[in-house]
Structure 1
Amino acid sequence: MKIREARIEDAEKIAIVHVDSWQSTYKGFISESYLSNLSVEKRTKSWLWTFENLNVHEKIFVAEDMPGNIVGFSCGGRSRNDEFDHDGELYAIYLLKDYQRLGLGKKLLNSVTESLKDNGYSSMMLWVLKDNPSVEFYKLQGGQIIGQKEITIGGDSLDELAIGWDRI
């Protein structure tokens, strides 16, 4: 397994992981109709746009298995939130179900953290759905719950937690 910085050519494979992860992780608390309508094609277009419009200090990383298949990704950069004092943000981190609990999540998280530190950021936060089992992972990595808000996904009202690290 290895972690590397993503390239635009990885967009479709990242999209596959993104859709698969949503469908397996959020099953049961995001509507089935919303999850079943997620499209790799639409997600690929979104990732291509993201690669072409990366802001300064924004980085995307991928986790690859031994044959070189992308099995996870993470991305982050400057915080997009004004309500917290954290200057960096983990925008997303997803792994295929079969590759969870192998240490790759921590490596993907650390890749974003190191990139932020290298670019002068000193703290980090993220948003995660309250019912996502990953909340415990973030707490184990030293994150603290710093806020909460309600969001709507596919017509469902869901609670989202802000988790922060005052120092990275």
Structure 2
Amino acid sequence: MIIRRAKSDDAQGIAEVHVDSWRSTYQGIIPDDFLDNLSVEQRTELWKINIAKEGNYVVVAENNAGQIIGFADAWKRDSNAVENASDLTSIYLLENYQGKGIGKRLFQAQFAHFKKMGYEKIFVEVLEENKTRFFYEYYGAKLVQTVQIKIGGKILNELIYVWEKVDDVIEKIESR
């Protein structure tokens, strides 16, 4: 298993994980017709832009065969006006690779980046029904706000969490 920074030619592999993991993670949460219409081609174009965009930090997890099986990305959202802060914008893994510590390694890579960049506070947004929120809570994220968003015509609760100190998260990751 390799965790490394994404390159432009990783866009399709990231898009495949993105679409597949949305379909498995959000089944029964987001309407099926929305999930069925997700496009690897469209997501590939999105990821080409995301990887190239200044300020974005995208890492991938590769299995031993060199296939991208997960990714995580981080950048400061336009809505984040907090000084010395950034956002963990996603962590996704193919379902068969979940529960094996790979998500933790992607998370660790992002927090090492946050520390290197001098960020103190890190925000993450997660759907209330997404079990990943418990992973974030385990590593010390505190719920600061709940907002409603619409995806596929359905109103969903999105939880906004914050980690107040990057060093505290790194310490907890390393102690486990």
- The bucket for the TM-score relative to the shorter chain is over 0.9
Distance 2:34 2:116 in 1: 38
Distance 2:84 2:117 in 1: 14
Instruction: Give RMSD over aligned pairs.
Output: 1.4
**Cα contact 1:79–1:86 (8 A) shared by 2:** no
CA positional deviation for 1:79: 4.4
Q: Any unmatched runs of 5+ in structure 2?
A: 167-176
CA positional deviation for 1:29: 1.0
Hey, what does 1:69 align to over in structure 2? 67
**Cα contact 1:86–1:166 (8 A) shared by 2:** no
State the one-letter code of the partner of 2:127.
L
Scaled by the length of structure 2, the TM-score of the pair is: 0.90
Distance 2:80 2:50 in 1: 22
Hey, what does 2:18 align to over in structure 1? 18
* CA distance 1:114–1:120, shift in 2 (3 Å): same
Distance 1:90 1:96 in 2: 19
Hey, what does 1:38 align to over in structure 2? 38
For the residue of structure 2 that corresponds to 1:101, the secondary structure is coil
**Cα contact 2:59–2:106 (8 A) shared by 1:** yes
For the residue of structure 1 that corresponds to 2:140, the secondary structure is coil
Hey, what does 1:2 align to over in structure 2? 2
Identity %: 38
Q: Any unmatched runs of 5+ in structure 1?
A: none
Tell me the number of residue pairs that the alignment of Structure 1 and Structure 2 aligns. 166
Distance 1:80 1:147 in 2: 17
Name the structure where helix makes up a greater proportion of residues. 2
| 2:109 corresponds to which of 95, 108, 111 | 111
* CA distance 1:40–1:32, shift in 2 (3 Å): same
* CA distance 1:119–1:83, shift in 2 (3 Å): closer
Hey, what does 2:120 align to over in structure 1? 122
**Cα contact 1:145–1:161 (8 A) shared by 2:** yes
**Cα contact 2:6–2:51 (8 A) shared by 1:** no
Mapping 1:74-153, distance limit 5 Å: 74-82=72-80, 87-153=85-151
